[in-house]
């Protein structure tokens, strides 16, 4: 397989993982259980999961009051789309 195919798999998995974690953290917040550290969510976003994190904000209404989450998610999305474009173009 070509390397770009593996990158698409990577981005798909990490975004789905962060989306699920946002839902789990929201559920834990409602039930007042142990939460996922904000640092973990933000680092996963910077590792390529920005779209999943942003969708988690929208679908679960989670972390939507914390503006820096939206900023980090959007920066991550733009950065990774740029890097992916540069990689594909050669």
Q: Where are the domains of the chain?
A: 3-89
Residue recorded with tokens 């999961």:
49
Residue 87 clears pLDDT 90, i.e. is over it: no
Q: How far apart are CA 19 and CA 62, in angstroms?
A: 11
Residue 16 clears pLDDT 70, i.e. is over it: yes
pLDDT digits (tens, 9 = 90+) for 22-44: 999 999 999 999 999 999 999 99
pTM for the model stands at 0.92
Mean pLDDT of 45-65: 95
């Amino acid at each position: 397989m070509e390397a770009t195919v593996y990158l698409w798999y990577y981005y798909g998995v990490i975004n789905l993982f962060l989306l699920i974690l946002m839902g789990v953290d929201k559920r834990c917040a409602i039930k007042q259980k142990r939460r996922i550290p904000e640092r973990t969510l933000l680092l996963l976003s910077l590792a390529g999961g920005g779209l999943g994190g942003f969708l988690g904000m929208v679908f679960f209404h989670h972390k939507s009051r914390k503006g820096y989450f939206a900023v980090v998610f959007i920066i991550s999305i733009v950065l990774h789309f740029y890097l992916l474009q540069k990689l594909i173009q050669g």
